[in-house]
Amino acid sequence: MYSPGLHILAQFTAPASTLTDAGSCKRHFDQLVDTLGLANVGEVYHSFPNGGFTVTICLTESHIAMHTWPEYGLATFDVFLSNYRRDNQARVRQIYTETLSFFQGIEQTKTELLR
Amino acid sequence: MYSPGLHILAQFTAPASTLTDAGSCKRHFDQLVDTLGLANVGEVYHSFPNGGFTVTICLTESHIAMHTWPEYGLATFDVFLSNYRRDNQARVRQIYTETLSFFQGIEQTKTELLR
């Protein structure tokens, strides 16, 4: 059975200032995707009236998804990259680590799922 | 700590005919989202030269993501809905069950993660 790759699912607390800044978040993900040589084939950023936002980035390698609840100081984060063309496991972990740092986040839960 | 909601991550085998039909997949998801009263705020469908496809649907309630590898007869599927406005756990399970059935899939792995 083919095993596509590694998926990290996390939840972290962070300052409301970062959890409401979709523009900075987009620049962060754009830079990561570019630096790591991933292929973004479409994305959605949607902001809510309370300042929270929700993001899905569709990659040829799979996806990144993030949702913020600034009223609870909380975000969920997903990154899943397939190893179809090359081994991307280290990139999955790097994307999570750099995103946690970018949001000044404190990890509450992290699950690594090898799919 | 706020607990956003239920995420199902699954992997299933299915006939290549369903794993290469992005148009039918879109009609399936459109109908489910409509029937269940969810709010699609943007989506991406991307097809690969080999007929496989990758989908992310951004919902105000969180997201749906699916990736197919027809050469391996395999798909991964994710649905995560927050309970922000109402309890959506039964809808998460319904979306997964109906998607598995739509693709004529045979479940290989399923993980339920309460985030």
- Which tens digits make up the pLDDT trace of A24-77? 999 999 999 999 999 999 999 999 999 999 999 999 999 999 999 999 999 999
Residue of A nearest to B8 (CA): A9
pLDDT over 90 (residue B81)? yes
CA dihedral angle for residue A58, residue B110, residue B7, residue A83, rounded to 10 degrees: -30
Rounded Cα gap, residues B74 and B57, in angstroms = 20
Per-residue pLDDT band at B22 (split at 50, 70, 90): very high
ipTM for the predicted complex comes to 0.95
Q: Is the pLDDT of residue B1 over 80?
A: no
List the beta strands (DSSP E) in chain A: 5-13, 40-47, 53-59, 62-69, 74-82, 106-114
Find the mean pLDDT for residues B58-70.
Answer: 97
Rounded Cα gap, residues A12 and A64, in angstroms: 16
Q: Which of B76, B77, B79 is the best residue to mutate to test the A interface, defined by the most A CB atoms within 10 Å of its own CB?
A: B76
- Flag if B1 and A74 touch (Cβ within 8 Å): yes
CB A2 within 8 A of CB A81: no
Q: How far is B62 from chain A (nearest CA, A)?
A: 7
pLDDT, tens digit, for every residue of B11-20? 999 999 999 9
